Amino acid sequence: MEKKNLNKVTPLHDITWYVKWVSTILIILAVMCRSLELHLYDMMFSLLGVIGWTFVGLRWHDRALTVLNTILGVLLILGIGKLFT
């Protein structure tokens, strides 16, 4: 079997690197809040996380990340609005 070297293609220590990790941590916090039924915190952390991932998707020209997180962001905004009405 031939062993292949995998090279990273994502940027290291530029703005997108920091945003993607902060956004990932925010989404993990959101899931923790969801498990504790803290719905507003869940949605707020999720929204901040998907905004960050949308930024990363735009900077990387990655349509899948951009489309997914834009749609999630809109749904989260609607959900937050529903909590307040």
Write down the domain spans for the chain: 27-84
Instruction: Please state the three-class secondary structure of the chain as a single string.
Output: CCCCCCCCCCCCCCHHHHHHHHHHHHHHHHHHHHHCCCHHHHHHHHHHHHHHHHHHHHHCCCHHHHHHHHHHHHHHHHHHHHHHC
- 1-56 tens-digit pLDDT: 677 787 777 888 899 999 999 999 999 999 999 999 999 999 999 999 999 999 99
This prediction's pTM = 0.88
Res 17: pLDDT: 96
Res 1: pLDDT: 66
What is the rounded average pLDDT of the residues 64-81?
Answer: 98
Scanning the structure block, which residue is given the tokens 């989260």? 76
Res 10: pLDDT: 81
**pLDDT above 70: residue 60:** yes
